[in-house]
Amino acid sequence: MPRHENPSPGEKPGFVVRDGLLISIPDAPEDDLWYTREKIGNATLRVVYKISAENANSGVFIRIPVEPKSEDDAINKGIEVQIDNSGDDYHCTGVLYSMTKAMARPYKPVGEWNTLEITLRGLRTIVKLNGVLVTDYDGVSPVPPKTRQYEPDRGPRPESGYIAIQHHGGDATVTFKEISLLPEPARPAGALQDRAAAYLADLVRIDTTNPPGNESRVARYLKRVADENGIPAELLGPDPDRLNFVARIKGTGTARPLLLMAHSDVVPADRSQWSVDPFAATVKDGVLYGRGAEDIKSLLAAELAVTVELKRSRTRLARDVILLSEADEEAGSTAMSWLVANAWSSIDAEFGLNEFGWWQDQPSGERIYQVQTSEKVPTRVKLIAHGTAGHGSLPRDDNPVVHLARAVTRLVDAEQPVALNATTRAYFAEFARLPAYAWLAPLLPRLETPEAAAEVRRQDRELDAMLHTTVSPTTLEAGIKINVIPNVAQAQLDVRRLPTETAAEVYARLRKIVDDPAVTVENAGGQQLPATEPSSLTTPLYLAMQKVFEREHPKARTVPLLMRGATDGAFLRARGVAVYGVPLFAREGEPRWHANDERISLDNFRSGVDLLRKIVIAVACD
């Protein structure tokens, strides 16, 4: 956020922050807010503001070449994008103050929000107000001479510089709702993989931490790339801060569309636990660090680059290719549920590629491509034990802490039944053929017996979790004081149920295991995802992936995966779209989805981009 600089210490500051709004104070002396963390170039500054009167005066300084020490540094060495509806055509909102003439004066009435977009592209400065072009200055053409001390010095400016927001004084107020920075999309020159890598760095730098998300920033970035490449695209959604992006490249329509999807939000990053800034897209030793590098801006960047490539190369497509980037996958899936209910025709497809597949080389030389075709369903459970409160000096049989502890232990110790679906049957069969999993082969025919399941658990907990609904106690809550027996105790359990079971079946079974009238087993709420059949292993998309992988590696094996976690793909599967987690990238050591120092090597990323191009062409071309 900008560094506040009051020109004369002791004077009242020109701005206050109230209810999340930045407000300029009438009659306060001139004051600036400077942003000096980095120089800004090749970016769009988006400023959303309203004014209390036509003569309300403020401004955005850009291209300040040196770290400003006084307001004159901003006024004279920088350039001011003016906010003042009452000025003449050289001194009004959206012009470069005293230098350029307004091409339009598209002002909203006093009290309504205006959107000022200032694009710095090399030396060129483009200003749009409420979507209408006001200024387009190439940075070198002559401008009228400077006539007053407080006008910008004439002469060249750097491609990037510091920025500031001005409070001009006067008796009117300017209120700012948003001052945000969007990197300019990578220029379309260069090979597919170079462009994809540039998109990835840009996307990581757009902070879409959820909550609050602010995914519209990614949506607008994607829209800009689509617009520049002539790809029809729309921003959709009920919340202007959390828009979804949908673009479409038309095919001949002989087959139904292919959907490429990736969510636009990321989980929070605790900066103190990272070795680099999680939103700087730092590259060290060929590895790009940043929140979203794995989950899942890498996939989004690859999908964007391939979509642009299809358009630029005028590839003849049998089916439409739809690119979707949806908000809020990491918290409530509100965007995906909204899209399915309100914009189905925009995203309806025969099948789609989504997050959470990966490939990995085995010591025996096989390369295993794991394609996510099925997901477990989060089924959150709350246990509540009731009893009678009393003095800790007299033990009671109905102490709810004791009942709760027993219930938790019973649930964790109980065998949850084994059930297989088409995905897990194929997965276990494929793994049993690998030398490293030779122990699995004799268990295959009797996986559904408790003995075999126990052996799997001893050998490999990840495989075990694919066989059953799992139960993990995660929170406990009871008591206020060491000598007081409480009358209630609670626990929450993270239960991940197999998609072959209903929630009601799971709750009923857990109640039977707890078997204690003092303890209730309840739905703890949270994200509700549909349970669905696995995506088919015989669609043209699955078969195309298999073929591409086999061409890619002599010992390729394509294995369908039941994922322990959940994605937005479940909503589409519930509507009959076969969604696959596409294994574009190698798993590099421990996965760092949601972890500190999340990262991806650029070689891995680049080869994944090319793999995606091959898959899309194999399934979508005429």
Which residues of the shown chain bind Zn ion in the complex (CB under 5 A)?
Answer: 295-296, 355
Q: What are phi and psi of 327, to 5 degrees?
A: -85, 170
| Smallest distance, Zn ion to C-beta of residue 138, A | 42
Joined together, the tokens standing for residue 267 give 């989980």
Pairing of strands 21-24, 174-183: antiparallel
Q: Which is nearer to Zn ion, 259 or 296 (CB)?
A: 296
Nearer to Zn ion, 151 or 330 (CB): 330
Answer yes or no: are the C-beta atoms of 49 and 34 closer than 8 Å: no
Q: How far is the CB of 248 from Zn ion (least distance, A)?
A: 23
Q: Which is nearer to Zn ion, 520 or 596 (CB)?
A: 596
Nearer to Zn ion, 160 or 354 (CB): 354
Nearer to Zn ion, 99 or 222 (CB): 222
Name the minimum Å distance from CB 227 to Zn ion: 26
Measured distance CA(216)–CA(238) in Å, rounded: 11
Q: Which is nearer to Zn ion, 299 or 467 (CB)?
A: 299
Helix pair 216-228, 192-205: axis angle to 10 deg: 150
The DSSP secondary-structure symbol of 206 reads: S
Shortest distance (Å) from residue 356 CB to Zn ion: 7
Check if the beta carbon of residue 130 is closer than 8 Å to that of residue 108: yes
Nearest distance in Å: CB 298, Zn ion: 10
3-state SS string for 260-280: EECCCCECCCCHHHCCCCCCC
The Cα 97–Cα 87 span in angstroms is 10
Kindly state the tokens that stand for 4.
């506040």
Cα dihedral angle (406, 410, 413, 416), rounded to 10 degrees? -160
Q: Do 222 and 325 touch, CB atoms closer than 8 A? A: yes
Report, in Å, the least distance between residue 350 CB and Zn ion: 23
CB of 351 to Zn ion, least distance (A): 19
List residues bridging with 385 in a β-sheet: 489, 519
Distance CA 49, CA 126 (A): 18
3-class SS string, 295-327: CCHHHHHHHHHHHHHHHHCCCCECCCEEEEECC
Tell me the closest approach of the beta carbon of residue 430 to Zn ion, in angstroms: 25
- Kindly write down the DSSP assignment for every residue of 175-199, as one continuous string: EEEEEEEEEPPPPS-S-HHHHHHHH
- In angstroms, what is the minimal distance from the CB of 166 to Zn ion? 41
Residue with Cβ nearer Zn ion (296 or 491)? 296
Instruction: In angstroms, give the least distance from the CB of 266 to Zn ion.
Output: 8
Residue nearer to Zn ion on the CB measure, 215 or 295: 295
In the complex with Zn ion, which residue's Cβ is closer, 45 or 218? 218
Residue 612's SS3 state is helix
Cβ 157 vs Cβ 40: under 8 Å = no
Rounded CA gap, 164 and 71, in Å?
10
Question: For tokens 């920075």, what's the residue?
Answer: 181
The residue among 296 and 570 lying less far from Zn ion, judged by its C-beta, is: 296
